[in-house]
Structure 1
Amino acid sequence: MSIPRSAVVPVACIAGTVTVAHLVLAAVPRRWFDEDLMLAIGRHHLDWGAVDQPPLTPLLAALADAIAPGSPFVLAVPAVLATAAAVVLTALMARELGGDSRAQTLAALGQGTCVAAAQFGHWLTPYTLEPALWAVIFWLLLRWIRVRDDRLLLVLGAVVGVTAQTRFQVLALALAVLVSAALLGPRELLRRPALWAGRCSDC
């Protein structure tokens, strides 16, 4: 099944504008408890087995702090990139659903200007990284439904694993997807060995 052409120029313009806007905001001196918490965990308590906080965001915070100690701008870079990536991925999801250039542009604009992105797009926190990671998951699922390429399911398993190292809520999403596929389809998804191979790779 063919899908519309990608709205490369308008989506790139929106993602670029979002990136610049949040980089400018990141340059403003600020303090935010959750960001300080990520730094503290990354510097002093980084642990794969932490119950309260998976390690990916603290690890990024520690790396940013090692590159430029005390720089709120450098600390914000991973968050800003994730915020911009979510804009692009939302447009790609619209395309997979058959959306034309206008639909893709509106989808990107909606993601780029939503309250969560506007408020947290330059804070390095788990809930800033999560939208981009969940968008990758949904895009992979939508693309698999369209093309039935099981290699996408192997990538999906890896992405779910990375996302689980950001926030544990993705496990509820995985359960919801499995239940939805069982009840509403496509049930073929549940019969694909690649799906379970990808999930086992997370264990």
Structure 2
Amino acid sequence: MAKPNVISKNELIESAKECLVTNGIEKFTLKAVAEIAGVTQGTVYYHFRTKEQLLIDITKDICDNSWNEISRTNENLLRMALESSKSRCSSTSYYHKLFLTLITSSFTNERIREQMGDILHKENQALSSNLSKIWSENPVEGVSPDTWGIILNSLIDGIAIQALLVKEFPIEKTYSELEQLLLRLTNLSIQEGNQ
């Protein structure tokens, strides 16, 4: 039996995530979300006018939750951020499939492009802000924290693309070596700050 129309947008987003896990992005529909949430399809349409809008809101929710969790700690910030992004590169994770599907849709849909651009901008800022916590000094003169955020965000998304497409992609090795690279940059930053 369907619940009355007193379900929150956040509860629907959680049901939509469950729907993605259960059905995959290929079989994701607003009707399937309504069934999992136990509400009418009209209730889902009330909160999300289109499937794309619901998918964008899921993406925003995942990003916001991830950055909020990472930003709450000062210890092992780098490791937590890398573990979070690595966990989204597995073949069972729907996040990057969803993210890349929306990016592709944004090439022909201005509304999706604006919203995905906002998500990327927010991620770049979160990376810049968190790197500023880790690096007392900029490890490479002439490269701003904002540019570091953009570079690292692009690097993480590029690794995700390869992990999704290359059958035997070395996720563990790649992330381990990426962590070593970032730790070296951190050590350079500390050495610069001590001089």
Short-chain TM bin: under 0.3
Give the TM-score normalised by structure 1.
0.26
Q: Which has the larger radius of gyration?
A: 2
Give the TM-score normalised by structure 2.
0.26
Higher relative contact order (CA 8 A, sep 6+): 1
